Amino acid sequence: MTQLKAAMAGTVFTVNVAVGEEVQAGQVIIVLESMKMEIPVETEVAGKVTAINVQVGDFVNEEDVLAEIEA
């Protein structure tokens, strides 16, 4: 299982996938907004989304786990 973590503190701008969805390596799973910038969070592995831990508008800290993917 691969954890998708926030690279920096910010708020969740969009959640692009749902639990159960199949995703490709390099796909943008979540977009954060921080310092007025869109910060795309990509998955490095292909697989199935098993958990989404955040909702749009949530504040997240660096290293927080945003989603989990089963390769």
Partner 1 sequence: MMTKLTGQTVYNEKLEKRINEVFAGGQQKYHDKLKEQNKLFVRDRLKLLFDDGQYTEDGRFANCEAGDLPADGVVTAMGKVNGQTVCVMANDSTVKAGSWGSRTVEKIIRIQEIAEKNRVPMLYLVDSAGARITDQLDMFPNRRGAGRIFHNQVRLSGFIPQICLLFGPSAAGGAYIPAFCDIVIMVEGNASMYLGSPRMAEKVIGEKVTLEEMGGAKMHCSVSGCGDVLVESEEIAISEARRYLEFFPANFTEKPSLKGSIEAKAGRTLEEIIPENQNAPFDMYEAIDALIDEGSFFDIKKLFAPELITGLARIEGQPVGIIANQPKVKGGVLFVDSADKAAKFINLCDAFSIPLLFLADVPGFMIGTKVERDGIIRHGAKLIMAMSSATVPKISVVVRKAYGAGLYAMAGPAFEPDVCIALPTAQIAVMGPEAAVNAVYSNKIEAIEDPKEKIAFVQAKHKEYKEEIDIYKMASELIIDEIIAPSNLREVLADRFRFYSTKELPLPPKKHPVYPV
Contact residues for partner 1 (CB under 8 A)? 7-9, 34-40, 61-62
When the beta carbons of 11 and 50 are compared against partner 1, the nearer one is 11
Question: Which CB sits closer to partner 1, 3 or 61?
Answer: 61
To the nearest whole angstrom, how small is the minimum distance from the Cβ of residue 9 to partner 1? Answer: 5
* In the complex, minimum distance from the CB of residue 24 to partner 1, in angstroms, rounded to a whole number: 18
Range 16-52 burial, b when 16+ CB lie within 10 A, else e = ebeeeeebeeebebbbbebeeeeeebebeeebebeeb
Q: Shortest gap between Cβ of 10 and partner 1 (angstroms)?
A: 9
What is the rounded distance in angstroms from the CA atom of residue 8 to the CA atom of residue 60?
8
Q: Encoding tokens for residue 4?
A: 């998708």
